[in-house]
Amino acid sequence: MKHAFLAGLIALVPLSAEVTVIQNATIMSEGAKGTFKGTIVVENGKITAVGDNVMVPAGATVIDAAGQYVIPGIIDCHSHIAVDGGVNEGSVSVSSMVNIRDVINPEDIAIYRALAGGVTSANILHGSANAIGGQTLVLKMRWGQDAEGMIFQGATPGIKFALGENPKRAGNPQGGRGAAATNARYPATRMGVEDVIREAFNEAKQYKAEWDAYDAQVAKGEHPLPPRKDLKLEPLKEVLEGKRFVHAHCYRSDEILMLIRVADDYGFKIKTFQHVLEGYMVAKEIAAHGAGGSTFSDWWAYKMEAIDAIPYNAAVMTKKGVVSSLNSDDAELMRRLNTEAAKAMKYGGLTREEALALVTINPAKQLGVDNKVGSIEVGKDADIVIYDKDPLSNYAKVQKVWIDGNKYFDRDSDVSGRPLKELEKKKLTDKEKAAMPAPNGRRPQ
């Protein structure tokens, strides 16, 4: 029933791409050109020209953004929006066989709200109930398209790992003081979390060896029987082959370091540490491993493992060579990642460009899509946001958002369309009211 209300919003979706030119804006490109006043040309969904002296193609739709700011579309490296139902397959300690891709809900209103907050791409993750969680994927916020149309084609798929309090909770529902609770699911401690991951990769390595042997025989022209396909181990094999990114939920420095050593031992890489609230304590080790850190700006003290979180985390990690980003993990926070970035200026003294990078080019790097998005540069996807004021200011409002050169959000249209939506709602409620037989009466089933 509620989806009827969304119809008005879906009507926003454009039919085809055309040539669009944004002029006279302050462009915070997050690319080599830095911040400058100038023009952006968008053709066939790509940025084809950027600069302070650019020819405007004939027949282009020209947008005068004088006094306004343009930034690359914001990328949220940790989100659970657009997921139909629960995000946790928590019944097993290793749930690598499940895939968020199978449960994308393109009608989640959070997608539209994220757009209205300047977000154009998001890493949609499985939950953190298990040491090795489900497969993840990157979406573009193409509101109005179907689930398939939301997928960021070409982005490397991922898998969620989780360390600390969440994965051990299932083994420990009563707070566990030694005695096993009913229906306890291994693991119940950080020691067990490490073991679960080691056991899984022990298996995955053997599985990969079987397949490698098979592939080698096939390559030699032989016709061996293939090994049995294992849907749990297949994604872990991809991790070992570098074809799937590991996004690991973590809090404490001990568990971060633990996972780095496990990955070293089994020969794979952690692409990002997620939350990573104590990343500032082991930034050196994270940087040496080559992992990114995707954290909260100022969340802390909501649980025990968040007690030593500091808002300087992103700045310290950045200064110590970790590619860092700020994420939301939350449909509300997701709408204002631009001002979350500003907090890294306050806490730790990052520059404006460094701060904005935390929600644009850096998460693009962490998701392996920095060749496509994350900055306003020629050849990249035209994922662009216009703000009325400095995007690092709390007074700034998103005005327009493009993805692949198509406009998906326009504040003016949103505001002017509200009376019509109110009317539509009233019609529906009136209709429903008319269908009521009598006050407090029952309708036939």
Residues at the contact surface with other proteins, assessed by CB under 8 A? 1-2, 5-6, 109, 112-113, 116, 280-281, 283-284, 298-304, 306-312, 316, 319, 331-333, 335-336, 339, 342-343, 345-348, 392-397, 414-415, 418, 421, 425, 429, 432-433, 436-443
Q: How far is the CB of 344 from other proteins (least distance, A)?
A: 9
**Min CB(168)–other proteins separation in Å:** 14
DSSP 221-289: T--PPPPPP-TTHHHHHHHHTTSSEEEEEE-SHHHHHHHHHHHHHHT----EEEE-TTGGGSHHHHHHH
- Best CA proximity match to 279, nearest among 256, 247, 249: 256
Minimum CB–partner distance for residue 436 and other proteins (Å): 5
Q: Give the largest CA-CA distance in the chain.
A: 79
Element (H, E) at 324: strand 324-326
Nearer to other proteins, 20 or 68 (CB): 68
Chain-centroid distance, C-alpha 144: 19
Residue 177: CB minimum distance to other proteins, A: 14
Smallest distance from other proteins to CB 51, Å: 28
72: tokens are 């690359």
CB nearer to other proteins: give 230 or 414: 414
Closest to other proteins by CB, 214 or 300: 300
Q: What are phi and psi of 402, to 5 degrees?
A: -115, 145
Distance CA 271, CA 293 (A): 9
Neighbour tally for 332: CB within 10 Å: 10
Minimum gap (Å) between residue 335 Cβ and other proteins: 8
Cα–Cα distance measured from residue 261 to residue 291, given in angstroms and rounded to the nearest whole number: 13
> What does DSSP say about strands 398-403 and 384-387: parallel, antiparallel, or unpaired?
antiparallel
Considering the complex, state which of residue 229 and residue 395 has its C-beta at the smaller distance from other proteins.
Answer: 395
Q: Which is nearer to other proteins, 48 or 338 (CB)?
A: 338
C-beta separation of 157 from 102 below 8 A:
no
CA distance 388 to 66: 9
**Smallest distance, Å, CB 299 to other proteins?**
7
Q: By C-beta, is 198 or 346 nearer to other proteins?
A: 346
Q: Cβ 316 to other proteins, closest distance in Å?
A: 6
Q: Return the residue matching tokens 């692949």.
A: 404
Distance separating alpha carbons of residues 384 and 50, to the nearest angstrom: 12
- Angstrom distances, CA of residue 59 to CA of 18, 56, 364, 408: 9, 9, 32, 21
